[in-house]
A and B are shown apart, each in its own frame.
Chain A
Amino acid sequence: MRTTVPRFLWAPAALAWLLVAIPVAGLVVRVDWPNFLGLVTSPSALAALWLSLKTGLATMVLCLVLGGPLAVVLARSSLPGLAFVRSVVLLPLVLPPVVGGLTLLFLFGRTGPVGGWLDREFGVTVPFSTTAVVLAQTFVAMPFLVVSLEGALRTAGQRYEAVAATLGASPFTTLWRVTVPVVLPGLLSGSVLAFARALGEFGATITFAGSLEGTTRTLPLLIYLQSQDDLDGAVAMSLVLVVVAIGVIVVSRTRDLR
């Protein structure tokens, strides 16, 4: 049954939509179309695009490998203090990314507890490397995968898993042959969201990894840099990000339409 929407909601609803839609549309109008191809295929643009895709995918994999198990633990175990664990995972959602970048810098910097040890024992320096980009992105993107996967696990419930156990499936078999396929849509949309968040990451990256072309200068960093002196280039690169973002939304939404 459809209920009637109160009339006074229409105006703010329309304003909300326009607030998002008009700037994006304005971007399309503002693009220097004759030079568009040249602007987005310049060596620095291609380097940034490639770096963004590469680190975005690495982030997605890292989120899956670490965040996936975390989501299962949050949804299925009855550990004491689980609420505390969950709030900590959600922290990056509300924390300014710059703060996240700073904390990572303190931890992994040469004088930091982990960074100092890595430097002494292995001669490895994390900050201002591509690894740092992936770590910064994982820090901000992890909650997206964990939240969406934990939700899918809770919605699916444990009924199928209980049946699998009565059919003689070990917990490991049950995880692979029942749990993962049942929550696959949630797993996919969570991964895509994490990838999208990684692609747009700016604050934590610039604080923890800096802005070195080809190594740590991802697309958002390049756009910010160009917006200082080459606005046409910045707008063209922005449009590329918008197109990628729309693609991500389409991919993560199609499962709802099935």
Chain B
Amino acid sequence: MSRLEVDVAVTRGSFTLDVSVTVGSGEVVAVLGSNGAGKSTFLGALAGLHAPDRGAITLDGRELGGVPVHRRRVGLLSQQALLFPHLTARDNVAFGPRSSGAGRRAARETADRWLAMVDATALADRRPAELSGGQAQRIAIARALACEPELLLLDEPFAALDVDVTPAVRSLLRRVVRATGVTTLMVTHDVLDAVVLADRLVVLDAGRVVESGPTAEVLRRPRSAFAARIAGLDLVPGRSCPEGLRTTDGTVVGGMHPETLDDGEAAVALFAPAAVSVFREPPKGSPRTTVPVRLAAMEPHGELVRLRAGVPDGGPGWVEGLAADVTPAAVAQLGVEPGDEVWFAVKAAEVEVHPAGR
């Protein structure tokens, strides 16, 4: 178990990155930012590709600056699987253990164990050229973890995959990262990657940290305008159930499962604020999930008005911070103002349930 402390400044041309991040032992932290926010530069500094102008990277008390890459014990999984083309899947996975001194036989046994872990036992004897993108990325996951790194770096690990295989590979990565308890730092531009994988979120803009905190909190209550723009999602934590998701107080939020989830597995329901309808009275006979809220705030949001929810008397606590985007005409028709009790409703077809949290 290893704790990572990073405090670096890197200048590349006119761009300056100045970031300080701590990842607790066994924690998964996502660094979220749009293109040009400095994500790659940050990862490059961690992986040892760009020498930082100033600062320190300590992993489990070891200072990493000046340590050659092959002695850092930092695994890297990037967009491209980059499997060695001349080796079979098994030999690719066995490469790390072999390099750190394991015998041929022991390394192959380790490799087989990891291949089983990523459901790729059947692919063991294939060459990378005979693997699909999703299969190759699964082998790359096994290969990165087979050397038992103290820190795992994920560089947009799903960005190059087909959209239809991304959910499966993402859940698999979540499962093995949780199972091994490896300290993990991921950079991504996709909010969903952060929701599924990360305990904590660090939002990067123009080379600086603009916000950080537990994933669900940052996404639900972004304090910076930038975080709000890239997050901007309604998020309800709970556990997976056949209809969608069940919150701690027993409310069922109807939704779809883009990836397979076990019943009772920790999950979040995600939906866009624009998918939420607002009513004065509980809508009758509607197939939607409805929940009473106290209107906490109303603010303009582009051409729409964003209504912020607060907890009503005796209502469930998870509605705090939920957003609904409605037209100004609808607001006028409803005749509501902050402090009023209203009902938020969302259709099951607009809700996606993803694995998340512990």
Binding site for B on A (CB under 8 A): 159-160, 162-171, 173-174, 177-178, 181-182, 184
Q: Report the minimum CB–CB distance from B147 to chain A (whole Å).
A: 5
- Does B147 lie within 8 Å of A167, measured CB to CB? yes
State whether B96 touches A167 (Cβ < 8 A): yes
Complex contact A169–B82 (CB within 8 A): no
Q: Are B86 and A168 in contact (CB under 8 A)?
A: no
Q: Which of B47, B86, B87, B100 is within 8 Å of A166, CB to CB?
A: B47
* Cα separation A59 to B75 with both chains bound (whole Å): 42
User: Bound complex: CA of A181 vs CA of B143, how far in Å?
Assistant: 19
Q: Is B69 at the interface (CB under 8 A from chain A)? A: yes
Tell me if A167 and B75 are in contact (CB < 8 A): yes
Q: Are A169 and B80 in contact (CB under 8 A)?
A: no
**Whose C-beta in chain B lies nearest to the C-beta of A177?**
B95
Mark out the residues of chain B between 63 and 96 whose CB falls within 8 Å of any chain A CB in the assembled complex.
Answer: 68-76, 80, 82, 84-87, 95-96
Could you tell me if A182 and B84 are in contact, using CB atoms closer than 8 angstroms?
yes
B144 neighbours in A (Cβ, 8 Å): 166-167
Task: Report, nearest first, the 3 A-B pairs whose CB atoms are least far apart.
Answer: A169-B99, A165-B69, A167-B96
**Bound CA span A159–B84, Å:** 10
For A169, the closest partner residue in chain B by CB is: B99
A59 to B144, CA, bound (A): 42
Measured in the bound complex, the distance between the Cα atoms of B99 and A177 in whole Å is 9
Let me know if A164 and B75 touch, CB within 8 A: no
Q: A159-B80, A178-B84, A181-B86 are in contact. Are A167 and B74 (CB under 8 A)?
A: no
A189 smallest CB distance to B (angstroms): 16
| Cβ distance B232 to chain A, nearest Cβ, rounded Å | 34
Q: Is the CB of A168 within 8 A of B76?
A: no
Which residues on B sit within 8 Å (CB–CB) of A165? 68-70
Q: What distance in Å separates the Cβ of B102 from its nearest Cβ neighbour in chain A?
A: 10
| Residues of A close to B82: CB separation below 8 A | 159-160, 163
Decide: B143 and A168 in contact? CB cutoff 8 A. Answer: no
By a CB distance below 8 angstroms, the chain A residues around B147 are 167-168
Bound CA–CA A168/B74 (angstroms):
8
- Give the residue of A159, A160, A168 whose beta carbon is less than 8 angstroms from that of B96: A168
Could you say which residues of chain B place their CB within 8 Å of the CB of A182?
84-86
Within the complex, the shortest CB–CB distance from A52 to chain B, in Å, comes to: 33
Contact in complex: B76, A166 (CB < 8 Å):
yes
In the complex, are the beta carbons of B74 and A170 less than 8 A apart?
no
Chain A residues lying within 8 Å of B85, measured Cβ to Cβ, are 182
Query: Is the beta-carbon distance between B99 and A173 smaller than 8 angstroms?
Result: yes
B84 touches A168 (CB 8 A): no
From B70, B73, B75, B76, give the contact of A169 (CB < 8 A): B70
Q: Nearest Cβ distance between residue B66 and chain A, in whole angstroms?
A: 15
- B residues less than 8 Å from A177 (CB atoms): 95, 98-99
| A180: nearest chain-B partner, CB-CB | B86
Who on chain A is nearest to B153 by CB? A166
Q: Are A170 and B99 in contact (CB under 8 A)?
A: yes
Residue picked from B69, B82, B143, most chain A C-beta under 10 Å: B69
Shortest beta-carbon distance, A208 to chain B, in Å?
Answer: 40
- Identify B70's interface contact among A159, A160, A170, CB under 8 A: A170
B95 and chain A: residue at smallest CB distance: A167
Which residue, A164, A167, A181, has most C-beta atoms of chain B within 10 A? A167
Which residues in A have their C-beta under 8 angstroms from that of B100? 168
Considering the chains assembled together, what is the distance between the CA atoms of A162 and B72 in angstroms? 13
Contacts of B80 in A (CB 8 A): 159
Of B49, B70, B72, which is within 8 A of A171 by CB? B70
CB distance from A59 to the nearest CB of B (A): 28
How close is A83's CB to chain B, nearest CB, in angstroms? 24
Taking CB atoms, residues of chain B closer than 8 Å to A168 are 70-71, 73, 96, 99-100, 147
Q: Which residues of chain A are within 8 angstroms of B68 by Cβ–Cβ distance?
A: 165
Query: With A and B bound together, what is the CA distance between A178 and B85 in angstroms?
Result: 9
- The minimal Cβ–Cβ distance linking A212 to chain B, given in whole angstroms, is 45
Q: Mark B97-109, 1 if CB is under 8 A from A, else 0.
A: 0111000000000
* B84 close to A160 (CB less than 8 A): yes
How close is B47's CB to chain A, nearest CB, in angstroms? 7
Interface centre among A162, A164, A165, A174 (most CB of B within 10 A): A165
